[in-house]
Structure 1
Amino acid sequence: MPTSKTMRYRLLDVALVVTGAMVASEFCAADLAVAGARLFAASATAFSAALSLAIFPLLGVYLLRSRRVLASLTGRVLFAWFATQAFTLLVTLTIHRANPAPYIWFACWTGVTAGTLLASRVIVHAILSRTRHARSNLRRVAIVGTAEHCEQLVRKIAATPESGFNAVMTLDLNAPPANAASAIPRYNEMFAFAQHVRSENVRELWLALPISEQALISALVDEFRNDLINIRFLPDVRSLALFDGGLVDLIGVPAINLIASPLSPLALARKDIFDRAFATVALVALAPLLLVIALAIKLSSRGPVLFTQQRKGADGQVFRILKFRSMTMHTQHAGVVQQATRNDPRITAVGALLRRTSLDELPQFFNVLRGDMSVVGPRPHAIEHDALYQTIVDDYIHRYRIKPGITGWAQINGFRGETDRIEKMQGRVDHDLFYLRNWSFALDLRIVIATVKRGFKHSNAY
């Protein structure tokens, strides 16, 4: 549910989209002289305004924080706007095929609105930065923690003054007394710490402690029970959690994920919507190429155009993956999968080209439409390989926590093709887990762009 602040940002963006269309109409009146062109423009404006309400949140535009560098913020806004306009143009051209398309007006509108969307972000960013850096509303924070976790929080607060917090002291009962070079006062005794908290009028107490420190947590809560201080528990679960331990609500009870999918159900739903929309556009755009490849396979060797094989998807569910056939028909023994090797005699001439350029993977967009796969995610392996690697590669099983992808973080970082050594598979899994821990739409888009730019040719693909 969007907050009131987020809703105001959304309405502002819609207003900027409509205003940009009106401004472009003034500059490009000649391009709208025909009634059909004006109808096209009106439809495009309405559709774009409505679509921005869906695409902007989907691509995380309103999740941006002012602590992000301005280049990152503007990059995401521009991508969301250009994606909106691409869909708008595609849909409007389809609906108004009989009407002349005012391309000059459309380009002017896109440019004007891009400028105003960026200007609005720059202005808000500048105001927030100036306000926060002026320390007009900083909340003083005292942090109780052990060693690294406590220091990590202090560094994060110092690096993000616009967050509204200012760390002013710490307590670590196991630490030696602070020296004169300490950036902020550090205590190792509770009584002196409590006195300083009260004398400095601190209103935020953060308990960055392991769950095992229940006695200390209870003592601190009891100490400040009658003070008007916000006490927040930021549990240190780094030694237990595979992924970042986010707080979730289960049957009305707060819970911390230690080993669970790091993507929330809402994030998975948004990713699924993006996947299916992307796959639809990709299949329409690539239809001629798919037909050419299918014809080349059929004419070059005997056998079906498509090759299918069982793979495991999200939560270990088995599905049949689709690929263009790149090998000659050969006998496969049950329970044994022989990976393709360099100069493999089974690979056809057409298949060699398809494998080097990854074009043999294109039918997997149909798997994405069916919901078996995602555009970006861990690459699926043969079930026989899963059974082997699951027992010898650390955390291998956690790749199943989301849908497998056509491309992934491991693939654009060189972990692609034959896995003839355990170290290669461990590297691939480590990259897959990094993707799970750090997933965002921005990361997905970065992987897609990198795949298009450099993924069509790789020395490990054969």
Structure 2
Amino acid sequence: MMRSSLNEHARTVAASLSTEAFSPRMLAGTIQAIEAVALVTIGCIFWLASSPDTASFEWGEAIPVIAAPLIVIFAIRSTGGYTVGALRNYLPVLSRILIAWGLTIAIMAAASFFFGLDSGGRRVWLGIMFLMGVGFFILERVAVAALVRRWTRQGRLERRAVIVGGGEQAAELLAALGDQASTNVRVCGLFDDRNDDRSPDEVSGVPKLGTIAELVEFARLARIELLIVALPMSAESRILQVLKQLWVLPVDIRISALGSKLRFTPRSYSYVGPVPLIDLFDRPIAGWDSLVKRVFDVVIASLALILLSPVILATAIAIRLDSRGPILFRQKRYGFNNEVIDVLKFRSMYHHMSDPEAKVAVTKNDSRVTRVGRIIRLTSLDELPQLVNVLRGNLSLVGPRPHAVNAHTENRLWDEVVDGYFARHKVKPGVTGWAQINGWRGEVDTPEKIRRRVEFDLQYIERWSVAFDLYILVMTPFCLINTENAY
């Protein structure tokens, strides 16, 4: 992979964008969930309060309590009530929300009549629920609008994008995008390898920040979410060359189809405002998937720490009695998006021989490994402290194993051995992974071994699901029986 240092201007811009932005999709989903839970809670309270005979209460009668929030949220979403613009400026959409709520209550009233639930208590509930819903939506939308406006001022509610290319194609794309505030996409800069008149230093007020090689580092530092390639589709070789450098990034990569003579069906495109884009790569484990994976990690890691606490305590005591030095060992390793993190392990080497920079790989019968160290390395008990890394959020339970920053084979760094090596950092690294349960753990003494690890890591990223993570976790203890390469 080509390495390139950012120029000072690009580094300054990246530093100003280092705060992570909120995903508009996640924001919309969160607001929908809050409204649903609030309306169901309000409905349950007043449904029970208005029930004429709680002793004969049947749960089937409570269907409107669940149905009403679902219907109104679907209606609000259908009318664009959860876009960032609607959440930021509540007045234009508030009337539509209240009309949708009124129609929902009317539907519930009609359903109650036709299904024989039109009792006095239910009529009271419908009236109270309508009034409470009106009050809730007004207060909630005012509060949400205040928050969204503040986050907008802080630049935390934008989809950060860069354009790959320059000149006329970039100018046409920027003109078509129009007001970036309306699309919530902020074009942070241009990156282009050309340095002649075809690629000026600024296009439509957007600066050129560097070359495509520099873009890789900029996108990581500035937490870019979207790369738009503004190159003619006829320039196939150039586009392929660009993609070969950029696909390692955990971002959405799109090609602008603005000036293309090829025409596909509308479903073949995604859109930013009026601009049609052809999807090439999507960020893996993004949006709600990332939230689900995080909840999975926290719950399972917490349970594992509780259940394995006797084993962890016994291992710590054994290490202390076996040799002098700290119980834990910290090592710099690559994390998500190539960020360097401190990974915790139980110390398995003599303290004065420890190798935090992984300059020399551990081999069979390595004299640096203690007696207890051999046992905990064979059984992978030395990895248990990484459950703390999981709770901190810089590791996941399952993912590509984090490699030391200076890990190498035959005097070559692993990113020099494997083309596209850094693509494995599109997701958080894991305590265990797909490569490990397929036998690729332990010593890496040949280029083929690291190539196979990366191959399985990329397969994991493509195939990810909660069920897949669970399968890998269940299979991990059985795979530890094979200690062939674990020294």
The TM-score normalised by the length of structure 1 is 0.46
Higher relative contact order (Cα pairs below 8 Å, separated by 6+ residues): 2
